[in-house]
Amino acid sequence: MTQVTELRGDLELWARMKPLAESDDAEWVNAARDLDTWPGAREAARLQMRRGAAPRARKLYSPAVLADERDREALREMADHGFRVRIATTPLPQGTFIIDRRTIILTDPVLPATAAQGRRTYTMSAAPALVGGAYALFEAAWESAADLDAFLGSGRPAIDAQTSRVLRALGTGVTDEAAARQLGMSLRTYRRRVAELLVALDAGSRFQAGVRAGELGLTRG
């Protein structure tokens, strides 16, 4: 039987987390929907930033985390302190921590019954199989996620309905003329949209714009 512990409530979680957070040079890896995976998440991050132990921390969030202005600032701060922050294209409903490739902590899914009690539970384990498997998946998700800068720095705003159709047309590899005809607009207007896209994606060429779009997953929408 492998050891898996259920942690009831945030106090218990914090009791387990703190000694780990205080040990220097530990590798922290975290996937979550937003910055409030658990009540102490922000504080823990701040603690780590102060200790300067951040370079070995990786944080993977879903795009939802960018919705709030203050959250975006918090992310910037984390990045400035050496955290590596990336944004995945999926919701990441459940939070995951992997510490030093040895310990894994997961937020339990919020069931109506549990929510009513108002006490969140967490699952913790040090079983190599569980930790290793989760780490491998995290690595795969991390590898292809977009860097925070790519999301904040470059143009998110570009995607109104029409521009998005232009983007997809570009992705099919047809000529401007064919694409414009297909979308029912003039060649001139089509190229206007393309030019706007290049600006929005901060790209100097169509190729670069394609790379950006591909990395940001804009062509799959």
Partner DNA sequence: GAGCCCGTGGCAGTTTGCTGCCACCGGCAC
Partner DNA sequence: GTGCCGGTGGCAGCAAACTGCCACGGGCTC
Instruction: Please list every residue from 93 through 122 that binds its own copies, using CB under 8 A.
Output: 93-96, 106-109, 111, 121-122
- What is the 3-class SS of the chain, one letter each residue? CCCEEEEECHHHHHHHHHHHHHCCCCCEEEEECCCCCCCCHHHHHHHHHHHCCHHHEEEEECHHHHCCHHHHHHHHHHHHCCCEEEECCCCCCCCEEEECCCEEEEECCCCHHHHHHCCCEEEEECCHHHHHHHHHHHHHHHHCCEEHHHHHCCCCCCCCHHHHHHHHHHHHCCCHHHHHHHHCCCHHHHHHHHHHHHHHCCCCCHHHHHHHHHHHCCCCC
Is 185 a residue that touches DNA (CB under 7 A)?
Answer: yes
Instruction: Please list every residue from 54 through 113 that binds DNA, using CB under 7 A.
Output: none
Binding partner selected for residue 25 from its own copies, DNA, none, CB under the kind-specific 5 to 8 Å limit: none
Binding partner selected for residue 191 from its own copies, DNA, none, CB under the kind-specific 5 to 8 Å limit: DNA
- Structure-block tokens of residue 193: 């949209």
Is 209 a residue that touches its own copies (CB under 8 A)?
Answer: yes
Total binding residues for its own copies by CB under 8 A?
63
Query: Which of 43, 48, 4 is CA-nearest to residue 27?
Result: 48
Tell me which stretch binds DNA (CB under 7 A): 45-53, 69-77, 104-112, 183-191.
183-191
Tell me which stretch binds its own copies (CB under 8 A): 18-26, 34-42, 153-161, 166-174.
166-174
Total binding residues for DNA by CB under 7 A?
16
| Binding residue for DNA, selected from 29, 124, 198, 213, defined by CB under 7 A | 198
Binding site for its own copies (CB under 8 A): 1-2, 4-6, 31, 60, 88-96, 106-109, 111, 121-123, 125, 127-130, 132-141, 143-145, 170-175, 203-215, 217, 219
Binding site for DNA (CB under 7 A): 162, 175-177, 185-189, 191-192, 194-195, 198, 205-206
